[in-house]
Amino acid sequence: MSRGPDPAPALDTDLAALGALGGFFVLRAAVRPPRPLATLADAYAGRTADGPGDPLAARVRRVAAGTGATEERVAASVAHLGLAARLAAAALGCAALHGAVPELDPGLLRWDPDATAPDDLWLTAVRPRPDDRLGEVLLDGHLAPLGRALAARHRLAPGLLRGNAASAVAGAARQLDRWARDRGRPDVARRAATATERLFAHPYLSGTGTVTGPAFRRRSCCLYYRVPGSGVCGDCCFTRPPRSSPRAPSG
């Protein structure tokens, strides 16, 4: 008698299982976060929930101060990649562990631009959706509008931001694959690979680079090499920092 695919466990209502993957994958589930926070819908629109302000601008300033980046667009790109990576890790982690993802409507996700993982993101309602809606939840719901918001406010090419989104997805996928293989969880590795393949087939990520198994080489550069004392990332289109280039390839 043939055996069907392994059944996926139900999505846990507090998302506690994500903690096993590491702090970067954690998504806090709480009806009320411990302090007032803007939603990501507010952040993408350039406002706070209770008045004037711009959470994304605050994050860019924080990244600039922390890295020593003197160019605003470099700090903005690094800030974008960090938030994109957090969102991708949480969404892909749920898909890999459960075969389901939570509804991540930007109005349900609260974000602290001054905090780091796992205390930066809070989901105020856990509503399961099938993992074949991952592209809609993650890319259409977050990474595309996040990219548009930063492209409109900073000198960042859309192709660069799409490349950042692809790097975020690929990085989360590599970590999930490593975690699953180290723990003898082929079911998790299989679901992670399937979910990642679907994401890279989505128009927003299509053409951003070359995927070979868990490895990824992007067509663009996130500009991190322009941070003082840094180099190129492992998936960069460059093999070494350019000596003099006012702009990196945008893809």
| Per-residue model confidence as pLDDT tens digits over 74-89 | 999 999 999 999 999 9
Give the pLDDT of residue 5.
47
CA nearest neighbour of 84 among 144, 39, 26, 42: 144
CA distance 5 to 187: 9
Note the pLDDT tens digit of each residue in 43-65: 999 876 544 578 999 999 999 99
Give the pLDDT of residue 244.
53
Mean pLDDT computed over every residue of the chain:
89
CA nearest neighbour of 237 among 172, 199, 202, 247: 247
pLDDT interval class at 237 (50, 70, 90): confident
Q: What is the greatest pairwise CA distance in the chain?
A: 64
CA nearest neighbour of 121 among 130, 113, 133: 113
Give the pLDDT of residue 251.
47
CA distance 160 to 222: 6
pTM more than 0.85: yes
Give the pLDDT of residue 51.
47
